[in-house]
């Protein structure tokens, strides 16, 4: 249990934050997008295995940096220390504007879609907005209440996922005859552009594996507990994702998923709802769809919990953003939470699901790639620096992450050029604010 008197987050809560950040809208919606480009079972399951291995390699690498630089802020903290404060600011700028706000919006939109499928007549956007406002109110009120809510909502999420997996495996009346071993042509699909672009959807579903690094200052014994929570949380989610996607493909024909997604590519397909209808029936499917909607509440909560800590640390370092460093009497970054949720609210009301996803995929890859590369940079630059935790499998594990992420970035840039260039434009806008802060600081001194 977290030490509430000191406002610290326990190891168990840190794992819960990682798990909750990761298991969200992506795993219950992205298989439709993947099936639209790949309609073979082995490559589809390989997507989730490769995505999980890459996320584990990233978590192992971040663990070393978290032990070296145990301060909240995630990439903002690491990149500022490894490269230059301007580069760190850009990562913080992205985290503050879309890095957390966009996934919160995506999870809220998916929740609204599931809720409206379960209860016809419900307006999905209204549901998304109401849930976001309620969770924001909880986390802006009390860190103890927020920690309790996070732990129990994550526990409910895990129970629901286990129930879903068992239901799919043992209650499906007419399962699909799927082959998990490679068939003719599968390896060419795996090394093709469709696989690499689909990996962007999988990367979105796995995003959050670095969540506890964003609030290292508030975790008990961060040099030990942050690396452990990153690894264990990611491992749990990887196993869950592989089993969930196996159940989706076991219960619903891949062609059906592709056809349903093709009806409206701008909106997420309720894959979990379609799957649950097969083994629980129409009524049971509606109930499970409602459960999945409740499950997404934990994801939204985790991101509202972690994201504002990046903005808060930026406010501590940059005078122009000093307001965002404000903490209320209970130690909560109040204005940072309000800013993140306001951006999420705007995205919910103005943007489509796939537009948001492509807008953030390339951008986030830039900074996670640079951060993991920083493990090599620090080993070369300061080899004698005391490391209480060293990346397991170095240099192979960080190299795997860099190769896979670089591969995805290349195909996103070449096949989704417009979205990638827009993402780079958003990144470059952060430089304007950074140098404006420097000018503001100079004027105050003079």
Q: What is the pLDDT along the chain (446 residues), one digit of tens a residue?
A: 334 434 577 888 888 878 877 877 677 777 888 888 788 889 999 999 999 999 999 988 988 888 888 776 778 889 999 999 889 889 888 877 777 888 888 888 888 888 887 788 888 889 999 999 998 988 887 666 666 776 776 777 778 888 889 888 888 888 888 878 877 888 888 887 778 778 877 887 887 788 777 777 778 887 788 888 888 988 999 999 999 999 999 998 888 888 888 777 666 677 887 888 888 887 777 777 777 777 788 778 878 877 787 778 778 877 777 888 888 777 788 888 898 899 899 888 887 766 677 667 788 888 999 999 999 999 999 988 888 788 889 999 999 999 999 988 888 788 778 878 888 888 888 888 888 877 777 777 66
Question: Which residues does 355 contact at the CB level (< 8 Å), separation at least 6?
Answer: 266, 419
Kindly report the CATH class assigned to 11-438: mainly alpha
pLDDT for position 3: 43
d(CA 216, CA 49): 28
Tell me: the pLDDT tens digits for 100-114? Answer: 888 888 888 888 888
What does the pLDDT read at residue 354? 66
pTM of the model: 0.76
* The predicted structure's pLDDT at residue 265: 66
For 282, counting Cβ atoms within 10 Å of its Cβ (0-12 exposed, 13-18 middle, 19+ buried), the class is exposed
Q: At what angle do helices 193-206 and 396-415 cross, to 10 degrees?
A: 120
């Amino acid at each position: 249990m977290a030490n509430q008197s000191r406002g610290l987050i326990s190891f168990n809560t840190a794992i819960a934050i990682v798990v909750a950040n990761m298991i969200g809208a992506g795993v219950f919606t992205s298989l439709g997008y993947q099936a639209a480009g790949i309609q073979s079972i082995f490559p589809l399951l390989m997507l989730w295995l490769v995505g999980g291995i890459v996320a584990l390699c990233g978590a192992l690498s971040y663990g070393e940096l978290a032990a070296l630089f145990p301060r909240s802020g995630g990439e903002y903290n690491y990149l500022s220390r490894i490269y230059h404060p301007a580069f760190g600011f850009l990562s913080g700028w992205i985290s503050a504007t879309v890095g957390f706000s966009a996934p919160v919006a995506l999870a809220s939109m998916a929740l609204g879609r599931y809720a409206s499928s379960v209860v016809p007549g419900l307006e999905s956007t209204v549901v998304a907005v109401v849930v976001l406002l309620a969770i924001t109110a909880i986390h802006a009120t009390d860190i103890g209440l927020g920690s309790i809510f996070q732990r129990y909502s994550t526990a409910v999420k895990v129970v629901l996922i286990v129930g879903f997996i068992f239901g799919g495996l043992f209650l499906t009346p007419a399962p699909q005859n799927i082959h998990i071993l490679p068939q003719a042509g599968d390896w060419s699909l795996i090394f093709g552009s469709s696989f690499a672009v689909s990996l962007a959807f999988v990367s979105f579903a796995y995003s959050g594996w670095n969540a506890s690094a964003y609030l290292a200052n508030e975790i008990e014994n961060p040099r030990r507990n942050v690396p452990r929570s990153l690894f264990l949380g990611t491992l749990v989610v990887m196993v869950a994702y592989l089993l969930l996607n196996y159940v989706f493909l076991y219960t619903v024909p891949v062609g059906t998923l592709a056809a349903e997604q093709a009806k409206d590519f701008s909106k997420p397909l309720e894959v979990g709802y379609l799957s649950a209808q097969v083994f629980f029936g129409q009524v049971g499917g509606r109930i499970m769809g409602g459960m999945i909607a409740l499950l997404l509440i934990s994801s939204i909560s985790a991101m509202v919990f972690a994201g504002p800590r990046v903005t808060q640390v930026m406010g501590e370092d940059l005078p122009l953003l000093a307001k965002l460093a404000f903490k209320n009497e209970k130690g909560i970054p109040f204005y940072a939470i309000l800013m993140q949720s306001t951006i999420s609210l705007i995205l919910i009301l103005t943007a489509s699901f796939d537009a948001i996803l492509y807008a953030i995929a390339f951008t986030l890859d830039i900074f996670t790639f640079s951060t993991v590369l920083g493990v090599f940079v620090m080993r070369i630059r300061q080899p004698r620096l005391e490391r209480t935790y060293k990346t397991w499998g170095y240099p192979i594990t960080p190299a795997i992450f860099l190769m896979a992420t670089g591969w995805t970035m290349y195909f996103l840039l070449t096949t989704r050029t417009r979205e990638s260039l827009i993402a780079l434009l958003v990144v470059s806008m952060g430089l304007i604010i950074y140098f404006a802060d420097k000018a503001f600081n100079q004027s105050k001194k003079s």
